[in-house]
Amino acid sequence: MIEIGKINSLVVSSEVANGFYLSDSDSEDVAFIPRAEARDIVEGLEVNVFLYLDKNETVLGTLQVPNALLGEYALMEVVDTTTFGAFFDWGISKDLLVPDTEQKVPIRDGAEHIVRVCMDENTRLLYGTTKLGKYIQASEFDIKESDKVEIVPAVIEELGYRCIINKKYIGMIYHNEIFSEIKLGQPLMGVVKKIRPDGLIDSALQVQGIRNLMNSKEVILSYLESVGGKSPLGDKSAPDDIRMALHMSKQTFKNGIGILYRERKITISKDGIELVK
C-alpha cells in the first residue's frame, strides 16, 4: 500500500506523452510522475518518490524530497497569500497550502514560520498548519535525555530559540546556553537535556556531562597557551566575559578550572588562572 505524504519505492511501469506511470509490488499503477518532474528515468527502473494528491485527487509523484514529510515540521517561507490561505515553499515544485483556518497568526508574504505537514482524513490532501499546540502535546518520543539530535533554530524568543528537533518535535535552546553564532534555519547538532511534560524538549548545542567537562578542559588549556599562559578570568568573572573568550558557560568554566587545578595543570588566584610551568 502506498503512503501519501511519504517516500515510496515504486517501479516505472510505462511511459506516456506527458509522463510516467508508477506501479507497486502488485504491479498495479498507483501514481503518476509528470514529465517535468521526471529526470533520467526509464521503464522498469525502481525509484524513490514522494507522493501527494493534486486538486483532482490524482496521486502524483516527484523525485524531489520536501523539507518535511507528513507529520514532520520545517521552517518554511511564505511565497504567496490568498483570501483562503497562504502558500509556503516546501522544497518541491508544489507549494504547501496553509489554510486560513490553520493559521495561528495572520501570515504575510515573505515571512517564515514553523509549519507541520498534515493530511485531511477524508480527501487525503496534504496541507500545512502553524497551530502546533495539540500536536506538541500529543508527541510520542523515540528519543531520550542525552541523545544526539538535529536542531534547527526557527524563532527567536525572549528566553532563547524555539527550534525543530529531528523534524519531529518542537523545543528550546536557551540564550544562556548558546556560545556561538546562531542562524535561523541552519541545522545544528545538539543533545536532549530534558523532555518536558508539555511535549516540548529542552535542548543544548554543547555536549552534556563529563564529555563536556573534558572538552572544556582542552579549550581552557588552549586559551591559556594562546594568551601567554595567564588570564585574568576566574570564578568571579562575569559570565559574558567567559562566554566571549571561551564560548562556554560560567558554570562549565568553573568546573573545568576546578579539574585542571586538581590535576595541577593550572593555579588559581585572585588575579585569575595561570598554567603550571
**CATH class for the domain made up of 7-62:** mainly beta
* Span 28-80, pLDDT tens digits: 889 999 988 887 888 999 999 999 998 888 999 999 999 999 999 999 999 99
Percentage with pLDDT > 90 across the chain: 60
Q: What is the mean pLDDT of the chain?
A: 90
Range with the poorest average pLDDT among 71-85, 152-166, 218-232: 218-232
Unique residue bearing C-alpha cell 588549556: 221
Domain boundaries, the chain: 7-62, 73-131, 144-204, 210-275
Least confident of 7-11, 115-119, 170-174, 213-217: 213-217
pLDDT of residue 213: 52
- Per CATH, the number for 73-131 is 2.40.50.140
Mean pLDDT of 172-199: 87
| 162-187 as b/e: b if 16+ CB within 10 A | bbbbbbbbbbbbeeebbeeebeeeee
CATH of domain 210-275: 1.10.10.10
Q: How far is 274 from 277, CA to CA, in rounded Å?
A: 9
CATH entry 2.40.50.140 includes domain 144-204: yes
Lowest mean pLDDT among 100-114, 138-152, 179-193: 179-193
In this prediction the pTM is 0.76
Give 6's pLDDT tier (boundaries 50, 70, 90): very high
Q: Do domains 7-62 and 210-275 have the same CATH topology?
A: no
pLDDT band at 209 (very low <50, low <70, confident <90, very high): very low
Helix (H, G, I), strand (E, B) or coil at 136: helix
